C-alpha cells in the first residue's frame, strides 16, 4: 500500500515516502469429503450432490523493504507514489526513469508534467488490464501519486501538490494551501489528526503547519511514517508501511534536494560507493 507525505510550509516543501511493498498470493481451497445429513429427515448428502465449488482466496503478504517510491524529476520536482507498484512487469520507478531518460519532462511546467504522468499511466495500465476502460468500475484507481514543486504564477512562486488517482476516470486535485497531504494507508495519520478536531469539553491540538521550520517538517513527515509502521507491527494486520524512509526537500531557492535516502539509490544515481 505505502504511505507518502507531502508537507507545504512557508519556507518550502518536504516530501517523504516509505519503502515497503506488499503483494497478494492466490491460494486455492478445495472442499474435501464432507458428510452432511438433513436434520429433519436424516437424508445424507455426498460432496458431488452438494456441488460446492473450489475457492480462490487472496492472501496479502509484505514483500520488499527497498522499493523506491520517491523520485527526483529533473532536479525541480518530486514524485512520490502509492497503490500499484508494478505495471507490465516493471516498477513505477522504472517507468518514470524511462520517461526521464527519454527527456519527456524536459522544460515542462509542473502542470504539464502532471498531465504527462496521468496520460502515460492511463495507457500503461492497459498492459495489465486491457479492458479496464470498458469494464472497470468508475472509481477504480490502482495508481496514486503526489507531484510536488513550485510553479511561477503571476510572478510569484507557489508551492503546489498534485494529488492524482489514476485509472478509470482519473481524479486529480491541485493543492496550494499550507498543510499536509498524505496518500496510501492513511488510517493512523488520520487518527492523529482527529486529536486536533474540536470536541465537547476537549482541548484542540492542531498542528500549526504555518509555524513549522524546514527541520520541523522533515521530522514530522518521518514521524507520520514511523508511527504508522510501528503501529502496524503490533496490530493484527499485514504490514503495509515500513522499510527505509526517503525524504526530499524543495524550496524556491534550492530546487530538489535529498535529505535522506536508501544507500543503494545513492550508489545507482550518483555513482558513489
Q: Which percentage of the chain shows pLDDT scores above 90?
A: 71
DSSP symbols for 25-41: EEEEE------EE-TTT
Q: How many residues does the chain have?
A: 273
- Structural domains in the chain? 3-21+63-270 (3.60.20.10), 28-57 (no CATH)
Mean pLDDT for the stretch of residues 7-30: 82
Checking if the pLDDT of 16 tops 90, the result is: yes
51: confidence class by pLDDT, cuts 50, 70, 90? low
Which pLDDT score is estimated for 7?
Answer: 98
In the block, residue with C-alpha cell 481524479: 171
273 pLDDT higher than 50 = no
Question: What's the mean per-residue pLDDT of the chain?
Answer: 88
Torsion over CA: 34, 39, 44, 50 (sign): negative
The whole model's pTM is what? 0.85
3 state SS for 72-92: EECCCEEEEEEECCEECCEEH
Comparing 1 with 95, the larger pLDDT belongs to 95
Question: How does residue 201 score in pLDDT terms, banded at 50, 70 and 90?
Answer: low
Residues with Cβ within 8 Å of 170's Cβ and at least 6 positions away in sequence, in order, are 118, 122, 141, 164
Q: Over the stretch 114-139, which tens digit does the pLDDT of each residue have?
A: 999 999 999 999 999 999 999 999 99
In whole angstroms, how large is the CA radius of gyration of the chain? 23
How confident is the model at residue 54, as a pLDDT? 58
Amino acid at each position: 500500500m505505502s504511505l507518502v507525505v507531502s508537507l507545504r510550509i512557508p519556507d518550502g516543501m518536504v516530501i517523504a515516502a516509505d519503502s515497503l511493498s506488499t503483494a497478494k498470493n492466490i491460494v486455492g481451497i478445495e472442499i474435501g469429503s464432507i458428510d452432511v445429513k438433513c436434520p429433519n429427515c436424516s437424508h445424507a448428502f455426498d460432496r458431488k450432490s452438494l456441488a460446492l465449488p473450489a475457492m480462490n482466496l487472496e492472501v496479502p503478504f509484505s514483500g520488499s523493504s527497498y522499493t523506491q517510491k520517491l523520485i527526483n524529476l529533473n532536479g525541480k520536482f518530486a514524485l512520490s507514489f502509492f497503490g500499484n507498484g508494478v505495471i507490465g512487469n516493471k516498477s513505477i520507478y522504472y517507468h518514470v526513469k524511462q520517461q526521464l531518460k527519454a527527456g519527456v519532462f524536459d522544460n515542462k511546467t509542473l502542470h504539464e508534467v502532471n498531465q504527462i504522468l496521468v496520460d502515460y499511466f492511463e495507457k500503461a495500465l492497459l498492459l495489465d488490464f486491457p479492458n479496464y476502460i470498458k469494464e472497470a468500475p468508475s472509481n477504480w484507481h490502482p495508481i496514486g501519486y503526489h507531484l510536488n514543486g513550485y510553479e511561477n504564477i503571476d510572478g510569484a512562486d507557489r508551492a503546489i501538490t498534485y494529488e492524482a488517482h489514476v485509472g478509470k476516470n482519473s481524479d486529480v486535485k491541485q493543492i496550494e494551501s499550507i498543510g499536509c497531504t498524505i496518500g496510501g494507508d492513511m488510517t493512523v495519520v488520520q487518527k492523529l489528526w482527529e486529536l486536533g478536531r474540536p470536541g465537547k469539553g476537549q482541548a484542540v491540538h492542531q498542528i500549526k503547519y504555518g509555524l513549522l521550520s524546514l527541520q520541523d517538517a522533515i521530522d514530522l513527515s518521518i514521524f507520520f511514517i514511523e508511527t504508522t509502521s510501528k503501529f502496524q507491527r503490533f496490530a493484527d494486520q499485514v504490514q503495509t508501511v515500513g522499510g527505509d524512509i526517503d525524504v526530499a526537500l524543495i524550496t524556491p531557492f534550492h530546487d530538489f534536494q535529498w535529505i535522506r535516502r536508501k544507500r543503494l539509490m545513492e550508489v545507482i544515481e550518483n555513482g558513489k560507493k
